Chains A and B, each alone.
Chain A
Amino acid sequence: MTAVLTAPPRPTLGRLTAVELRKMVDTRAGRWLLVLIALSAVAMMPVVLYAAPADEQSLGQLFAASQIGVSLLLPVLGIMSVTSEWSQRTALATFTLVPERSRILTAKLLGGACLAGAFVAAGIAVGFLGRVAGAALGRSTGSWSLPLPVAGTMLLFAVIMVSMGVAFGMLFMNPPLAIVLYFLLPTLWTTLGQMVPRLEGPARWLDTNRALDTLTDPGVTATEWARIATSLAVWLLVPLAAGTVRLVRREVK
């Protein structure tokens, strides 16, 4: 059978991304998670203002602090965006309207990246307000500049984290399981790497926690980039590939 009904045309990837982005924020659970992420960014400002030495209270530091909660919680939104399709059974409508399931996956990854970008932008704004508040309170003496590479690596970090969430969600397809394993597995590996001397070497290459940490510090070396790439191959690409296969094959009920 070679027949194809081509008109009206299939929804563009841009349209699907807009829809997936909307689906992440139009439910009560999604909205609360967004509020929580935003609050976590704001809540870090007084922590830095009152705990860090005055000369370290730069815009860059305040911005980096705002992203701590974001990088922790944004992946949960990525996980939920995939797993809720199964737990809330919306996959039925989603894949009935768009039979090419891999396009939905791409749209979810792009939608997550958009949210990551939005939170990085919001983090810069929050960091700036924090720095203004620090100046007004006479607590901050750090720099007002935000080096572009710092903002860039933070954006990359946020995109990677939310994509990992989407990948884990797709692989496990069950919200609690995916969330628990997302936090547990990499941490378990980190702990194992620290406890078992013989794993020390490989652990540094496969440990996202340690490899990605370098992204949040200014100046990433070539070796650090290599470690980031290898650890991501394991913790992002493998779940993504396995999850895609599962998603495409799974019977939708």
Chain B
Amino acid sequence: MIDVDRLTKRYGDVAAVRDVTFRCEPGTVTGFLGPNGAGKSTTMRMICGLTPPSSGSATVRGVPYRRIANPGRHVGVLLDPAAQHAGRTGREVLALTAQVTGMPKERAGELLALVGLSEKAAGRRVGGYSLGMRQRLGLAQALVGDPAVLILDEPANGLDPEGIHWMRGLLRGFADRGGTVLLSSHLLLEVEAVADRFVVIAGGRVAARGTKQELLAAPDRTVVRALDPGRLEEALAAAGLRYSARAEGGLAVEAGAEVVGRAAASSGAVLLELRASGGGLEELFLSLTADAAAPAPAPEGALR
């Protein structure tokens, strides 16, 4: 379980993270989404006690990270796969982690097999690893202490499609056995298939959070296009509906398809197109993060 409470980090006058609050429950995978520079990594470093927050707090399994006696046995952390000594072998990295956390020596071999690093690769220095191999090694390192919580920053970066599929299965299984997973990504597609819940962050603030259903349960929007746009607009205005012109043509109306269709029918406008708008989560993600420079206040309410 991870509990983040109003975490804020300021660098001088710049707030990298502002009032970020969310919670990750056991048995779930939480996707931490946001464009590059949104504050995902800073938030994760604050959770792990590597960056002191300006205000707010975070706990893992009910305890501030730095007060966990042997954190490697409770929390698996992978914040940057590149942060490995180039001159050390992959096997040695895992053996060192096992030694620090007090796990048996055999753990290194077990994890190499689990993440699919061959004996040969394990005996090579990390400096010669591809990004994908480093991600696998980093994930193995996070899992050495048999933790109940995983905190992973962009773990899919550098993995090939097969590798991403494999990692999804691994994280899903970890959560299904009661584990808590927090993984970040700037690409929705990478986490959409595996995450149960989402926290979307933009410009250092939480823009939305909730399950996929909750996030998509935004107000109805309909795209409509008529043979005579003028007549349609009159009809919509008469029905008291709010609408705006779309760049691609047609109108976007803040109402369901039925309401829009009835309004058009009563005016006799001939419709060429009438459909629910939205490409799903992706469109929502883009709309939430598009104006990251000037973030709108978080649409809390429905989105918790």
Q: Which A residues contact B (CB, under 8 angstroms)?
A: 1, 3-11, 15-16, 18-19, 22-23, 26-30, 84, 88-93, 95-100, 251-253
Contacts and interface: CB of A to CB of B under 8 A. Distances in A.
9 contacts: A5-B61, A6-B69, A88-B84, A89-B83, A97-B71, A97-B72, A97-B97, A252-B50, A253-B51
Nearest to B93: A93
Nearest to A84: B85
A95 B97 CA distance: 12
Closest 4 CB pairs of A and B: A27-B87, A89-B83, A99-B66, A252-B50
B92 A26 contact: yes
Contacts of B73: 8
B6 interface: no
B135 to A, nearest CB: 14
Nearest to B99: A19
A23 B96 contact: yes
Given A8-B69, A8-B70, A26-B92, A92 B99 contact: no
B67 interface: yes
B88 to A, nearest CB: 5
Given A27-B87, A93-B141, 15 more contacts: A5-B67, A19-B99, A23-B96, A26-B92, A30-B87, A84-B85, A88-B85, A88-B86, A91-B83, A92-B80, A96-B50, A96-B77, A97-B101, A252-B45, A253-B45
Interface in B36-74: 45, 48-52, 57, 59, 61-74
A19 B92 contact: no
A7 B61 CA distance: 13
Contacts of B92: 26
Given A4-B63, A5-B67, A15 B51 contact: no
Contact of A96 (B48, B52, B59, B64): B48
Contact of A27 (B63, B66, B69, B88): B88
A16 to B, nearest CB: 7
Nearest to A96: B77
A1 B59 contact: yes
A47 to B, nearest CB: 31
